[in-house]
């Protein structure tokens, strides 16, 4: 295809004013693109600040319901639940993960009873429940065992769906867990439960504040998750992981972290053409907030620009701690 050169073609013509720029915008960010990750505490009227994530709190279920009401009014359609487990309930076998009275299960029931239109996404992983802070069961050498872990993840996912979760989101990166969860959900009469697979979850250093928020940083004691989460050097491997999860029954896939891995989001959407989500993780949030609080960046403008970058890369939805603020800005 051949185009005329300057001055016949002036690229700036379509940038002349706001209306023209809107008319030819290739991507648009709306509140419907946002999912708000929340940290849930046991008890009532409980709130705790997360020092490494200024403005973010762990909250009990009664306060979570107030947050949910506010989010729906802003047009945010979904919440992603991350439970904070008391230390006395953490064990090597992570049995609290699938307790019918666990924090995630209780929160799911409460949210769906109060706001049936709200989409509830639950995290399927064992690190909030293990005494050692890993996402699975470990052997005598500290190695995370794949198949025994999958057995527990299946129980956890089923307990979430039975509590009313719309979407279960396995974030553990064990091999074969999507197929095992899908088979069990079918067998137990839940054919319409959706699975959002964290298919391309990298062994990233951007997760630090999240582990502070969940209270898992102390448990892992400086260890890492490199034997099951992906090597940040790899891109083709991500496509293989995503393809495998789709073949096993995933309905949508997640790339995590977000902005440092937008190339993976683009490859996933372009090559596989499936519902693709990305997580603007705690480290990204913390860096932005530090810059905002020091007056180095324009907060409102940068929040919206950062989220639009996800849309441009191909994300259908974004998990972000900025969801309430972004939705309010978009409503103005």
User: Which amino acids are annotated catalytic?
Assistant: 201, 256
Find the DSSP H helices in the chain.
Answer: 18-23, 61-74, 103-114, 146-163, 177-187, 208-214, 217-220, 236-248, 262-267, 282-293, 299-313, 323-331
Vertex 87, ends 82 and 88: CA angle to 5°?
A: 125
Report whether the peptide linkage leading into residue 7 is cis, meaning its omega lies within 30 degrees of zero. yes
Is the separation of the CB atoms in 191 and 185 below 8 Å? yes
195-210: burial string, b at 16+ Cβ within 10 Å, e else: bbbbbbbbebebbbbb
Q: Is the dihedral of CA 323, 217, 158, 45 positive or negative?
A: negative
Token duo for residue 29: 């960010």
Q: Is the dihedral of CA 194, 246, 311, 213 positive or negative?
A: positive
Helices 103-114 and 61-74: angle between axes, nearest 10 degrees: 40
Phi (first) and psi of residue 239, to 5 degrees: -65, -40
Is the separation of the CB atoms in 52 and 286 below 8 Å? yes
Total Cβ atoms within 10 A of residue 287 = 14
* Residue with the two structure tokens 């299946």: 154
Question: What are the distances in angstroms from CA 126 to CA 60, 102, 171, 279?
Answer: 20, 13, 9, 19
């Amino acid at each position: 295809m051949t185009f005329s050169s300057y001055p016949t073609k002036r690229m700036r013509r379509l940038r002349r004013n706001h209306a023209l720029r809107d008319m030819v915008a290739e991507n648009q960010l709306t509140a419907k693109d946002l999912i708000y990750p929340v940290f849930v505490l046991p008890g009532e009227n409980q709130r705790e600040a997360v020092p490494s994530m200024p403005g973010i709190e762990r909250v009990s279920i009664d306060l979570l319901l107030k947050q949910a009401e506010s989010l729906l009014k802003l047009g945010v359609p979904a919440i992603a639940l991350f439970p904070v487990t008391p230390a006395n309930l953490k064990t090597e076998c992570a049995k609290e993960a699938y307790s019918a009275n666990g924090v995630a299960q209780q929160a799911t029931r409460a949210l769906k009873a109060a706001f049936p239109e709200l989409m509830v996404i639950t995290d399927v992983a064992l690190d909030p429940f293990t005494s050692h802070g890993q996402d699975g069961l470990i052997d005598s050498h500290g190695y995370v065992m794949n198949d025994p872990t999958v057995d527990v993840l299946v129980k956890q996912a089923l307990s979430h769906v039975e509590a009313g979760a719309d979407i279960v989101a396995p974030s553990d990166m064990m091999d074969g867990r999507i197929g095992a969860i899908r088979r069990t959900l079918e067998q137990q009469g839940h054919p319409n439960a959706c699975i959002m697979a964290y298919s391309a979850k990298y062994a990233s250093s951007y997760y630090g504040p999240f582990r502070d928020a969940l209270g898992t940083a102390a448990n892992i004691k400086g260890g890492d998750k490199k034997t099951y989460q992906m090597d940040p050097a790899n891109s083709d491997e991500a496509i293989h992981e995503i393809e495998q999860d789709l073949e096993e029954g995933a309905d949508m896939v997640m790339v995590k972290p977000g902005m440092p891995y937008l190339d993976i989001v683009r490859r996933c959407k372009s090559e596989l053409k499936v519902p693709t989500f990305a997580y603007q993780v705690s480290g990204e949030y913390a860096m932005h907030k530090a810059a905002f609080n020091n007056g180095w960046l324009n907060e409102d403008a940068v929040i919206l620009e950062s989220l639009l970058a996800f849309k441009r890369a191909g994300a259908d939805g974004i998990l972000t701690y900025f969801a309430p603020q972004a939705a309010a800005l978009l409503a103005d």
